Structure 1
C-alpha cells in the first residue's frame, strides 16, 4: 500500500472557513444531465424585523414540525471543475447539489483525473501543515488530496486539496460514501446517459446457490428457480457464509474438546501400558525363576537314582526331594499361567494404547479440518461482504490490460485488446447509476475528460517529476467509439458480471493506473495531470 500521508492542505481557521460558507449554493430541483447552472452567490437576505417582533413571530415557527429533505438516489458521483472552481454532485436523475470550491494554487496544483472517495474523517488534522484542522475530510488520494471544509475565496488557494464552504462541506459529508467516484476536470464537464452493447451487464444468480445446505431439502423441477441480482445474491451469500462460519466454529470447538478428551485417554492408556509392561516383566521373571527352581528340584529328586549302580545299593528315599519337585512343578505352572495372563493384558494394553493414539490423531485431523473450514468460511463471508461494494474496472490502452477491484481491494487482472492502438482512446468514466428492465439491467452514465496531450508531453520532459503517461496521436475517441475498440475475453466479462451492480464503474483510458493506485485501500485511478 502506498504510504498514507497526511492530506496536504491548510485550513485557515474555523471562523474564516464558515464565513466563506456563504459562497456555496443551495440548488433547486434536480436538473437533467448537461444543464448549465450559473454559480452565483445567494441573494442577500431581507432586512430583519425588530428583535421584539422577531421573537414573537418565532414562537409559531418553533412549534412547526421539522421536515428533512429526502436523500437523493444512489449512487452519487462528483465532478469538480478547476476552471470554474465548482463541484457538482450527480445521480441518475441529474444534478443533485452544486457549490463553489477552491482548488490548488500555482505550485500546488490539484491533480486532474478520475478518483474515488477512499477515506472519511469528520475532524481530521494535517500532519504536514502544523496540525491544521480539516473538518469533513473526504480523502481521494493517500498522497494528500482530499475534499474538506476550508476558506473559499473564489480562486485557487489550497495546497492541492479541494476546499468546500462550511454549509456545503457538512451537507456533502452526509450525502457521499466511501467508494463513490470523483472526477476532477480542467473545465466544466457533465455526465450523459449512454447505452452500448459492450457495457457489462449484471449476471442474475439462482437463489438456491446462496442458501445454506439443509438435510433432505429438495427443489421441485417444475418450479422455476428464483433469480437474484448480484447485490441481493451477495446479501444471501453473507447469510450463508455466516451460518457456515458458525457451523465450522462449532465443529472446531467440538474437535478441540475431542482432542482434550483424547489426550487424557492417551495418557491413561500409556499409564495402563506401562503397568502392563511392568506386570508382564515381573511375571516373566517369576516364571523364569520358577522354571529354574523346578529344574533344580527335579535334578535333586533324580540324582540318587542316577548315582546308584544297582537298585540294591540305592538308598531309601524319604520322599522330601520328590515333594520339592512336585511343589516346584506347581509353582512353575502357576508362574507360567501368570505370565500368560500378564502377556495377554500387555497385548490388550498395547491395542488400547494404539486405539487411543489413533483417536487422538483423528481428533487432531478433525481440528485441523475445522480450522481450515473456519478460515474458508470467514474468507467466503469477507468476499460476500466485498460483493456488496461497487466494482471498479479499468481498461488501459498503455498496459493493454483490464484491472478489476472491488471494495478498494484488487480482484484480478487480465489481457485486453485495443483496436487501432496508435490512435487516442481518451479517458472515459462509465458509472452504473440505475436499474431498468425490472431490475435485470443497468443504466449507465459517462463522463469524459478532455485530452491534454500537449501538456502531457511537456511534463514528460521533466524526468522524475511526473509519472509517465501514454501519448497517442489523433483526437480522442467518443465514449461509444472507445467501447467499440475494446476486446475482453468472455470469461473475464463473466467474472465482472457476477459482481456488477449499482455504483459499479468502468474507466476506459489511454493511461495506466495512476501511482495513487496502491495495493490495498485504494481504487483504480487515472491521473491526466
Structure 2
C-alpha cells in the first residue's frame, strides 16, 4: 500500500591530502547544504485508501492525510471490487480494451481483468464499469507519487491508518559483530588498542561490518492465510489405530468400529464410556498419543511480484473470523534496529481491531529472524481469512478480494 524514495548511502573515505582553509570551508558549506536538502525530503511511505460508500479516495503519508478527492466507482452490475490491490501497470495515455477504446488518461491498473484508477467523469455517484474515476488534476498529481507495486486498499466504509506496536511485527536485523564489542571502556583499558583505534576508525569498521541489503529499496509483500485443516475424525481414527484400539478405516466416518474403539479407550483410561466424539476426548487422545498439531497457517513473501519465501505459522482461535488487515513498515535506514508500523483494517470491524489480531499470531523464532533479515522500508504484511489465489499470479502481488 505504500511507495517511497530512498536516500543514497554516503561512503566516507579519509585520504591524506592537504587543502587550503578556504577550500575546506567551501566544501563544508556545500556538504552542509546538500545534507540539509536531503533532510528536507520526507521519505515516509504514502498509501491510498478508497471508500466506495463515501465515493472518496484519501492519500496518507504515514498517518498524515495529505490529499483527498471525490471518485466515481463502478455502477450497479459493474461494481468495483473491495480488497487489497497493487498498482500493476501505469500509462499516461491509455485506451480501454473492453469499452469502445474509451480514453483512460493517467491509468494505474489494479487488476489484469480491467479495474484501474484513471481520469474520468464524476457525476457524484457510482457510474463506471468498475474502474475508479478521478478528477484530472488529482489523477495527474497522484500519478507522480506512485510506482508499480504500491498497495491500494478499497473498502466499503471509511478506513484510517493507525499506529501499531507488537512483537509479531518484524524489526530490522542488526547482527552482533566482534568489532561492536570493542567499547570505549575496552579501548581505554588497553594501551595497545588505545593507540591503534580511534573513535573514527571504530565507527568506520562498524559501518563496514553491517551487511548491505541489495534489495533495500524494494518493499516486500507478505501475507498470512489459514491452511485447510485436517479432518479431526480422520486424525482421531489414525491415532486410535496407532495406539492399538482398532478404530477401522481412516475415513472420517464414526461407524461401529470407531465407536467401539472410543468406548474401549474410555474404559481403559477410566473415563465415562459414551463412545461419543467430543473435544475433550480428542484432546485426551492427542495427549496420550503424543500428537502435536501442525502449524495451521502459511506465511508467503513476494518481492517485485515474485515468490521468494514461505514458512508455516499459527493462528490462535481459528474458528473466529480474522477479517483482512494490512500492516506496513515505515521508513528506516540500513543499520537501524527498529521501525514503526501502521495498520489498516480492510473489512471494518470484521475480525476485530488490527492490533488485537496480532495477539493470535504465533511465529516461529527462525521465521521471525528470517523476516528481520529481509525487512525493507515500506514492506507490508496482510493477514486475512479470504482467499488470494484466484487473483494472484505472475505480474501481481497478493490480491485479496473482500466481497
Q: Deviations over 1:128-163 (max 9, x none)?
A: 112221111111111111101111111101111111
| Equivalences for residues 105-504 of structure 1 within 5 A | 105-204=75-174, 223=202, 225-226=205-206, 233-234=212-213, 384=214, 386-398=215-227, 400-435=297-332, 439-450=336-347, 476-504=351-379
* DSSP-derived class of the 1:403 partner: strand
Shift of 1:113: 0.6
Q: Would the aligned equivalents of 2:107 and 2:116 in 1 still touch at CA under 8 Å?
A: yes
Q: What's the counterpart of residue 402 of structure 2?
A: 528
* DSSP-derived class of the 1:123 partner: coil
Q: TM-score, normalised by structure 1?
A: 0.48
Q: Would the aligned equivalents of 1:431 and 1:504 in 2 still touch at CA under 8 Å?
A: yes
* DSSP-derived class of the 2:107 partner: strand
Shift of 1:514: 4.4
Give yes or no for the alignment of 1:513 onto 2:342. no
Q: What's the counterpart of residue 57 of structure 1?
A: none
Q: 2 CA distance for matches of 1:440 and 1:122?
A: 39
Q: 1:491 to 1:446 in 2, by over 3 A?
A: same
* DSSP-derived class of the 1:124 partner: coil
* DSSP-derived class of the 1:135 partner: coil
Q: What's the counterpart of residue 25 of structure 1?
A: none
Q: What's the counterpart of residue 247 of structure 1?
A: none
Q: 2 CA distance for matches of 1:478 and 1:184?
A: 18
Shift of 1:447: 0.5
* DSSP-derived class of the 2:143 partner: helix
Q: TM-score, normalised by structure 2?
A: 0.63
Q: Which segment drifts farther, 136-145 or 426-435?
A: 426-435
Q: Deviations over 1:440-470 (max 9, x none)?
A: 3111111002269xxxxxxxxxxxxxxxxxx
Gaps of 5+ in 2: 1-39, 179-196, 229-296
Q: Deviations over 1:482-515 (max 9, x none)?
A: 1111112222222222221211001111123242
Q: What's the counterpart of residue 268 of structure 2?
A: none
Normalized per residue, which structure has more helix?
A: 1
Q: 2 CA distance for matches of 1:111 and 1:84?
A: 15
Q: Would the aligned equivalents of 2:217 and 2:377 in 1 still touch at CA under 8 Å?
A: no
Q: Deviations over 1:186-228 (max 9, x none)?
A: 01111111111111111136899xxxxxxxxxxx9x9475258
Q: What's the counterpart of residue 78 of structure 1?
A: 48
Q: 2 CA distance for matches of 1:229 and 1:166?
A: 49
Q: 2 CA distance for matches of 1:105 and 1:194?
A: 35
**Number of residue pairs the alignment of both structures matches:** 276
Q: 1 CA distance for matches of 2:399 and 2:59?
A: 19
Q: 1:441 to 1:88 in 2, by over 3 A?
A: same
Q: CA RMSD in A?
A: 3.0
Q: 1:406 to 1:206 in 2, by over 3 A?
A: farther
Q: 1:97 to 1:207 in 2, by over 3 A?
A: farther
Q: 1:124 to 1:229 in 2, by over 3 A?
A: farther
Higher gyration radius (CA): 1
* DSSP-derived class of the 2:126 partner: coil
Shift of 1:438: 8.8
Q: Deviations over 1:280-320 (max 9, x none)?
A: xxxxxxxxxxxxxxxxxxxxxxxxxxxxxxxxxxxxxxxxx
Gaps of 5+ in 1: 1-69, 209-219, 235-383, 453-474
Q: 2 CA distance for matches of 1:88 and 1:82?
A: 12
